[in-house]
């Protein structure tokens, strides 16, 4: 997958329409976490350095196609301006004559932030007229909102039909690190998949089994696999209706010669709670009444040994209920193994990324994906409409 990127676009003196992800947390009208604003700055600053004038756009929250002032971009414009170190003009609306006049009045190098694109139903419907109205503001379109690239919305996909389209640095990096995992990963390639449910992870397992050498199945989803292998799983999470899927996945992995690491021991609790003490079960068999809540020390060692030898590793989904301190060890130790791995390491998925941040290891991972749903769909091998629009 080769994208058109802003490195190749001549934007001097041009008006550039830039889609960013400024869907930030807000409390009492103040941005409480500016990670996403900071993440967009390299692209924004690069375009300004090259002499572009910017029309920036994003969604924020779920105003459901209505102009709801609660979801105005005003507080975000303020924070963006502070971070950027120059004025940001907030547009009076998203589209329309008044905004058109504001765009016309922009001087070279100025930055205009459109109002919340989801103030119009045409955004999520990917309405061509709405997309055309947005596109009319720019000469060039740049998308750097990876987190919404799995949605074919007007600002993420629609506008690309009317303007030359380029990827910003964030999207470029996502594709640079995740693309090879599906095509030609450096080997050995280890995929570590966990989290709560088989149903939400089966597609990613089926995608990665095509290119990986070893696949680790941990977290709550592991017990459905253990049960179909005939093991006792006590009161652990199980998805009855996914047993056939689990069985055929294991057969497929075997046929492909991919080695599957499932838990060989466990940390169990008597009940699913924060205060339940962890009991180490030094066997694959879980006693009646107990719940498997983390992988045990022998399993941790198996996973770490595989990671140590790997040239590439992808990790999606925690190994246990890491939110409970008593059951965080598996996730923490595997996270540390990734941090110490000399190969390329990629972490994607909302809770896995939260775990990496909680353990303060993000800067030791080659790539921490900025999209939850988008990175999962990417790893599933799905075509992301917002990225397809930027392909050469």
Interface ranges with ligand ADP (CB under 6 A): 195-196, 200, 219-220, 237, 292-293, 316-318, 320-321, 323, 349-352
Is 292 or 386 the residue whose CB approaches ligand ADP more closely?
A: 292
* Residue 194: CB minimum distance to Mg ion, A: 10
Residue 201 annotated as binding site: yes
- Show the tokens assigned to 330: 């598996």
Piece in contact with Mg ion (CB under 5 A), picked from 31-39, 88-96, 301-309, 346-354: 346-354
Per rule CB under 5 A, is residue 109 in the interface with Mg ion?
A: no
* Residue 330: CB minimum distance to Mg ion, A: 17
Per rule CB under 5 A, is residue 373 in the interface with Mg ion?
A: no
Please count the other Cβ atoms lying within 10 Å of the Cβ belonging to residue 234.
Answer: 18
* Residue 151: CB minimum distance to Mg ion, A: 18
DSSP string, 35-85: HHHHHHHHHHHHHHHTT-EEEEE---S--TTS--GGG-SHHHHHHHHHHHT
Name which of Mg ion, ligand ADP, none residue 200 binds, using a CB cut-off of 5 to 8 Å depending on partner kind. Answer: ligand ADP
Is 160 or 299 the residue whose CB approaches ligand ADP more closely?
A: 299
Helix axes 243-256, 198-208, angle to 10 degrees: 20
Among 150, 158, 188, 157, which Cα is nearest to 380's?
150
Selecting among 109, 179, 350, 381, the annotated active-site residue is 350
Residue 22 annotated as binding site: yes
Contacts of 153 (CB under 8 A, 6+ apart): 59, 117, 123, 124, 126
Per rule CB under 5 A, is residue 350 in the interface with Mg ion?
A: yes
Identify the three-state secondary structure at position 291: strand
Residue 60 annotated as binding site: yes
Selecting among 100, 109, 179, 373, the annotated active-site residue is 373
Contact (CB, 8 A) for 179 and 1: yes
Note if 36 is an active site residue.
yes
What pairs with residue 268 in β-bridges?
279, 292
Phi, psi of 14 (to 5 degrees): -100, 160
When binding is defined by CB under 5 A, the residue of 174, 213, 351, 377 that contacts Mg ion is 351
* Residue 30: CB minimum distance to ligand ADP, A: 27
Selecting among 14, 15, 19, 36, the annotated active-site residue is 36
Note if 373 is an active site residue.
yes
* Residue 196: CB minimum distance to Mg ion, A: 8
Note if 197 is an active site residue.
yes
Binding-site residue set: 21-23, 36, 59-62, 118, 151, 201, 292, 323, 349-352
Binding-site residue set for (2R)-3-phosphoglycerate: 36, 118, 151
Residues that bind Mg ion (CB under 5 A): 350-351
List the catalytic residues: 36, 197, 350, 373
């Amino acid at each position: 997958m080769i994208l058109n990127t802003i490195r190749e676009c001549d934007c001097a003196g041009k008006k550039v329409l830039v889609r960013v992800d400024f869907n930030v947390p807000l409390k009492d009208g103040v941005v409480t976490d500016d990670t996403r604003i900071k993440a967009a700055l390299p692209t924004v600053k690069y375009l300004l350095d090259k002499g572009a004038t910017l029309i920036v756009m994003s969604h924020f929250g779920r105003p459901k196609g209505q102009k709801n002032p609660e979801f105005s971009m005003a507080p975000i414009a303020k924070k963006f301006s502070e971070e950027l170190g120059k004025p940001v003009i907030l547009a009076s609306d998203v589209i329309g004559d008044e905004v058109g006049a504001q765009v016309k009045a922009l001087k070279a190098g100025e930055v205009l932030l459109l109002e919340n694109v989801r103030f119009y139903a045409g955004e999520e419907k990917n309405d061509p007229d709405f997309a055309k109205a947005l596109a009319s503001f720019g000469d060039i379109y740049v998308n750097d909102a990876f987190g919404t690239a799995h949605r074919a919305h007007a600002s993420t996909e629609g506008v690309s039909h009317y303007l030359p389209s380029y990827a910003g640095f964030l999207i470029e990096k996502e594709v640079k690190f995740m693309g090879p995992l599906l095509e030609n990963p450096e080997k050995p390639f280890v995929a570590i998949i966990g989290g709560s449910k088989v149903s939400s992870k089966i597609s990613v397992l089926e995608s990665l089994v095509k290119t990986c050498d070893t696949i680790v199945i941990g977290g709550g989803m592991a017990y459905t696999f253990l049960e179909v292998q005939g093991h006792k799983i006590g009161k652990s999470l199980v998805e009855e209706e996914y047993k056939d899927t689990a069985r055929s996945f294991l057969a497929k992995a075997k046929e492909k010669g991919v080695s599957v690491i499932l838990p060989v021991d466990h940390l169990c609790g008597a009940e699913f709670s924060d205060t339940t003490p962890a009991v180490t079960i030094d066997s694959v068999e879980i006693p009646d009444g107990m719940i498997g809540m983390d992988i045990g020390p022998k399993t941790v060692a198996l996973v770490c040994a595989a990671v140590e030898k790997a040239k590439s590793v992808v990790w999606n989904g925690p190994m246990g209920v890491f939110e409970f301190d008593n059951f965080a060890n598996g996730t923490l130790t595997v996270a540390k193994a990734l941090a110490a791995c000399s190969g390329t390491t990629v972490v994607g998925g909302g809770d896995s990324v939260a775990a990496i941040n909680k353990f303060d290891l993000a800067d030791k991972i080659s790539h921490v994906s900025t999209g939850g749903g988008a990175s999962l769909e990417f790893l599933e091998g799905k075509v992301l409409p917002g990225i397809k629009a930027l392909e050469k």
